[in-house]
């Protein structure tokens, strides 16, 4: 038995990508007619049911909502298998990019595409469908192309096929510069209205026009397949490698989840401690004057070397240098002979005109002394002491929490470095991957979506996420030099980051906002599933 590979053993696998509503289902139905020898108008083959045509092939796949052309009509990756001339053809129909259900749905769709491609051994081509006439929604288009650039490996770029739908070559208005790194020399044009119009409305002129479109589409498919067969098939290992790196980032984020929560709690603790510091500081100022000053006058006895007649009631020297023999007993009758008594039973000098019985001799004189007394106000001292202790405690707490927070921030910066290095690895596999570009596109898309929200709470949540993306962009841009390999990349990133900086320089958002939301953001632009908390 010959070991040569026969035609019957050849399998060519294609992945079909495009924006929502670009016509991927029409493309699959056109392929079905090509491979199954369909004819217009009496034997039209339909794999995917449309608004006007029922499925004829008995396949399980159908358009999700055939009446809604604004949302992705293909919600899962579906493989359509055909055989022609002994060659097996497998076309993977994928969910649309820039889905109108939002960026979260885009994340889900991207993840499904990567998972599906990673499971097949090789690809013959990646077919990107673009509406050749509709360039009105430039933001969605740029978002889709940026996303495509970010997950199509360089090794497959030579096998990239672009098909402009809903136009001919002479009616195509698409600006090829929008493709960036996804430029391709293999380009085709296809306009097949058979599957989007109502057969009951087909006139004779319509039939002639639609038949011409149908036949031209068959010829286009034939030329496209012949061109692709001249290209070598490409292993999907690069997709697997990219997915592995993405999950490395996922693992890093998972390990850091508790740190994000810790940062938020620490920020809350610091805010509370600062509030308490303010309260205690105000109290300390309020109660710092917990004493009151009182001026008092008192009388002191001062020693002298002579004796005086002193009134014990009035604390008064009634007769200085008394000439009587010093009397040692208070109230002695002899005091009546003192000049101060003038022979009476009472003193004529002291303020109280007191009885001689309260007078005595002593080698003292009376002097009035004025002094200021500091009197403590009941309770205020205790409150002041409590306030100063509270100030010291709050300052210590803030210092302690700030130290812990700094350690956590160092750990998170380390995580950012891991993400950056992972992005550098992705860049080596896929030069179109640009984290700053993807974040900027994400930011603009979210701004558009947030304007459509009617709930106040929902808009606040969206604004929080938008602010988080801005801050994350700044953080990752600090490491962008490791991701940039050309002056064009440098200039492009600088323009984008200038826009982001202009949006954020006048806002001081709490650090926990970025850390709280960082996982969801990274999950989005890396196209991986979120981790449930």
| Domains contained in the chain, number | 3
Residue 43's pLDDT is what?
93
Q: For residue range 239-254, list pLDDT tens digits in order.
A: 888 878 877 766 765 5
Residue 253's pLDDT is what?
58
Distance CA 15, CA 192 (A): 20
Residue 91's pLDDT is what?
95
Q: Which residue has the higher pLDDT, 464 or 69?
A: 464
Name the residue among 120, 108, 131 with its Cα closest to residue 156: 120
In a domain? residue 243: no
Rounded to two decimals, the pTM is 0.59
State what percent of residues in the chain have pLDDT above 70. 66
Q: Which residue has the higher pLDDT, 404 or 513?
A: 404
The CATH number of residue 191's host domain is: 3.40.50.300
Q: Is 88 helix (H, G, I), strand (E, B) or coil?
A: strand
**Band of the pLDDT at 472, cuts 50, 70, 90?**
low
Q: Which residue has the higher pLDDT, 235 or 422?
A: 235
Distance CA 509, CA 491 (A): 27
Distance CA 304, CA 363 (A): 5
Q: What is the DSSP string of 340-409?
A: TTTTSSB-SSSTT--BGGGEEEEEEEEEEEEEEEEEEPTTHHHHHHHHHHHHHHHHHHHHHHHHHHHHHH
Residue 473's pLDDT is what?
55
**Band of the pLDDT at 359, cuts 50, 70, 90?**
confident
**Band of the pLDDT at 60, cuts 50, 70, 90?**
very low
Q: Are residues 223 and 274 in the same domain?
A: no
Distance CA 293, CA 170 (A): 100
Given CA atoms 210, 216, 222, 227 in this order, what sign does their dihedral have? negative
Mean pLDDT of 476-493: 45
Count Cβ atoms below 10 Å from residue 305 Cβ, excluding itself.
Answer: 5
In a domain? residue 1: no
Residue 429's pLDDT is what?
84
Residue 487's pLDDT is what?
41
Q: Are residues 76 and 69 in contact, defined by beta-carbon separation less than 8 angstroms? A: no
For the record, the structure tokens of 354 come out as 């007191």
Domain boundary among 375, 408, 430: 375
In a domain? residue 385: yes
The residues, any chain, with a CB within 8 Å of residue 229's CB and separated by 6 or more, are 12, 124
Name the residue among 56, 18, 62 with its Cα closest to residue 166: 18
Question: What's the N-to-C CA distance of the chain in angstroms?
Answer: 58
The answer to which of 343-352, 427-436, 495-504, 518-527 has the lowest mean pLDDT is 495-504
Mean pLDDT of 346-359: 89
Q: Are residues 116 and 201 in the same domain?
A: yes
Q: Are residues 500 and 384 in the same domain?
A: yes
Q: Across the chain, what does the average pLDDT equal? A: 75
Residue 109's pLDDT is what?
78
In a domain? residue 362: yes
Q: Which residue has the tokens 């750990």?
A: 411
In a domain? residue 240: no
Alpha-helical (H) ranges within 430-510 are 435-450, 456-477, 487-504
Give the best-scoring range by mean pLDDT among 27-36, 124-133, 378-387, 460-469: 27-36
Name the residue among 87, 73, 79 with its Cα closest to residue 59: 79
Distance CA 10, CA 6 (A): 7
**For the CA atoms of the chain, what is the radius of gyration?**
47
Domain boundary among 375, 407, 423: 375
Q: Are residues 198 and 301 in the same domain?
A: no
Q: Are residues 119 and 160 in contact, defined by beta-carbon separation less than 8 angstroms? A: no
For the record, the structure tokens of 183 come out as 């430029």
In a domain? residue 241: no
The residues, any chain, with a CB within 8 Å of residue 119's CB and separated by 6 or more, are none
Q: Are residues 58 and 96 in the same domain?
A: yes
Is 108 a residue whose pLDDT tops 80? Answer: no
In a domain? residue 259: yes
Residue 515's pLDDT is what?
43
Residue 101's pLDDT is what?
64
Residue 16's pLDDT is what?
94
Largest CA distance in the chain: 163
Q: Which domain, by its residues, includes 192?
A: 7-235
Residue 2's pLDDT is what?
41
Is 364 a residue whose pLDDT tops 80? Answer: yes
Q: How far is CA 341 from CA 306, 321, 349, in A?
A: 19, 15, 8
Is 167 a residue whose pLDDT tops 70? Answer: yes
Q: Is 101 helix (H, G, I), strand (E, B) or coil?
A: coil
Q: Are residues 281 and 203 in the same domain?
A: no
Q: Are residues 204 and 75 in the same domain?
A: yes
Mean pLDDT of 432-444: 61
Q: Are residues 222 and 257 in the same domain?
A: no
Is 141 a residue whose pLDDT tops 50? Answer: yes
Q: Are residues 359 and 400 in the same domain?
A: no
Distance CA 79, CA 41 (A): 26
Is 41 a residue whose pLDDT tops 50? Answer: yes
Q: For residue range 284-320, list pLDDT tens digits in order.
A: 777 677 667 777 778 888 899 999 989 988 888 999 9
Distance CA 49, CA 78 (A): 14
Q: Which residue has the higher pLDDT, 324 or 188?
A: 188
Domain boundary among 375, 395, 411: 375
Q: Are residues 54 and 196 in the same domain?
A: yes
Residue 431's pLDDT is what?
76
Residue 28's pLDDT is what?
94
Give the best-scoring range by mean pLDDT among 77-86, 273-282, 501-510: 77-86
Q: Are residues 64 and 164 in the same domain?
A: yes
In a domain? residue 439: yes
Distance CA 446, CA 103 (A): 8
Q: Are residues 346 and 398 in the same domain?
A: no
Residue 70's pLDDT is what?
42
The residues, any chain, with a CB within 8 Å of residue 462's CB and separated by 6 or more, are 446, 449, 450, 453
């Amino acid at each position: 038995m010959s070991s040569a590979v026969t035609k019957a053993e050849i399998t060519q696998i294609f992945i079909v990508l495009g924006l929502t509503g670009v016509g991927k289902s029409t493309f699959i139905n056109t392929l079905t007619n090509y491979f199954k020898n369909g004819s217009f108008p009496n034997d039209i083959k339909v794999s995917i049911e449309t608004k006007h045509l029922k499925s004829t092939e008995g396949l399980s796949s159908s358009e999700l909502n055939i009446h809604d052309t604004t949302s992705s009509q293909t919600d899962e990756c579906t493989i359509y298998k055909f055989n022609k001339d002994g060659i097996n053809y497998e076309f993977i129909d994928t969910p649309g990019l820039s889905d109108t259900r939002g960026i979260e749905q885009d994340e889900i769709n991207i993840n499904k595409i990567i998972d599906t491609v990673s499971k097949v051994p090789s690809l013959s081509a990646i077919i990107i469908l673009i509406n050749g006439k509709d360039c009105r929604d430039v933001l969605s288009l740029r978002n889709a192309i940026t996303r495509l650039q970010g997950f199509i490996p360089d090794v497959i770029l030579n096998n990239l096929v672009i098909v402009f739908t809903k136009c001919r070559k002479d009616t195509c208005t698409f600006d090829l510069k929008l493709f960036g790194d996804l430029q391709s020399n293999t380009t085709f044009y296809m306009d097949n209205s058979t599957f989007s119009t109502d057969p009951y409305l087909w006139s004779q002129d319509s039939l002639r026009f639609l038949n011409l479109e149908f036949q031209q589409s068959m010829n286009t498919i034939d030329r496209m397949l012949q061109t692709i067969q001249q290209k070598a098939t490409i292993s999907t290992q690069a997709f697997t490698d990219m997915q592995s790196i993405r999950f490395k980032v996922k693992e890093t984020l998972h390990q850091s989840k508790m740190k994000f929560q810790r940062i938020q709690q620490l920020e809350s603790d610091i805010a509370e401690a600062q509030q308490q510091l303010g309260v205690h500081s105000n109290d300390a100022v309020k109660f710092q004057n917990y004493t009151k000053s009182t001026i008092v006058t008192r009388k002191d006895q001062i020693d002298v070397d002579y004796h005086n007649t002193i009134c014990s009631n009035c604390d008064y020297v009634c007769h200085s240098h008394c000439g009587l023999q010093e009397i040692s007993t208070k109230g002695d009758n002899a005091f009546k002979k003192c000049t101060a008594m003038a022979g009476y039973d009472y003193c004529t000098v002291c303020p109280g005109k007191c009885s001689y019985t309260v007078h005595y001799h002593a080698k003292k004189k009376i002097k009035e002394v004025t002094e200021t007394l500091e009197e403590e106000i009941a309770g205020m001292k205790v409150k002041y002491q409590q306030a100063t202790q509270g100030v010291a405690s709050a300052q210590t707490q803030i210092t302690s929490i700030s130290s812990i927070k700094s350690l956590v921030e160092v750990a998170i910066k380390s995580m950012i470095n891991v993400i950056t290095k992972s992005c550098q690895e992705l860049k080596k596999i896929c030069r179109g991957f640009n984290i700053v570009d993807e974040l900027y596109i994400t930011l603009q898309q979210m701004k558009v979506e947030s304007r459509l929200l009617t709930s106040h709470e929902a808009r606040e949540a969206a604004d929080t996420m938008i602010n988080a993306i801005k801050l994350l962009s700044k953080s990752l841009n600090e490491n962008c030099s490791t991701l940039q390999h050309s002056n064009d990349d440098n200039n492009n990133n600088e323009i984008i980051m200038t826009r982001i900086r202009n949006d954020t320089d006048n806002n001081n958002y709490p650090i926990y906002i970025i850390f709280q939301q960082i996982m969801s953001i990274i999950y989005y632009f890396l196209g991986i599933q979120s981790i449930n908390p």
